[in-house]
Amino acid sequence: MMSHSKSSMRTPLAEVRGLGSARSGTHHFWMQRVTAIANIPLSLFVIGLIISTAGSNYAAVKATLGSPLVAIPLILFIGSAIYHMRLGMQMVIEDYVPAEGPKVALLLVSTFFSVIVGLASVFAVLKLSFGV
């Protein structure tokens, strides 16, 4: 019979099964918080950019986005927001999809969706920035 230490929070069944933390929960938690904090000033920048270019023609917006002082924070916003979105979707899927097959499929779709949206967004900013 296995000995169960009194300081352990795990049940005897959990110890027998050997299932435990994937050791990625803390990293996931902190990355969500870091990206959330990073998104605050970056979102304010994007809102200001949208307000300042509202009503401008294509040439004016293209000239604005051509500046590295605009394009770089915009790309940082895209990266941070997409990563934050992916982490949030992952958490929702893991918490609310009980069956393992659909859970894995949704996690894959979520990851591919995040990568595609992120790459398309960065490509659009770079294309406008370099005037191609």
- Report the C-alpha gap between 111 and 89 in whole angstroms: 9
Count CB atoms within 10 A of the CB of residue 127. 12
CATH code of the domain containing 112:
1.20.1300.10
Q: Would you say residue 16 lies in a domain?
A: no
Q: Would you say residue 19 lies in a domain?
A: no
What is the distance between the terminal CA atoms of the chain, rounded to a whole angstrom?
A: 71
The domain in which residue 113 lies consists of 25-130
DSSP code of residue 19: -
Q: Would you say residue 18 lies in a domain?
A: no
Q: Which residues contact 30 (CB under 8 A, 6 or more apart)?
A: none
What pTM value is reported for the model?
0.78
DSSP code of residue 77: H
Of 13-17, 44-48, 69-73, 97-101, the poorest mean pLDDT is in 13-17
How many domains does the chain fold into?
Answer: 1
DSSP code of residue 23: S
- Tens-digit pLDDT profile for residues 4-13: 555 666 677 6
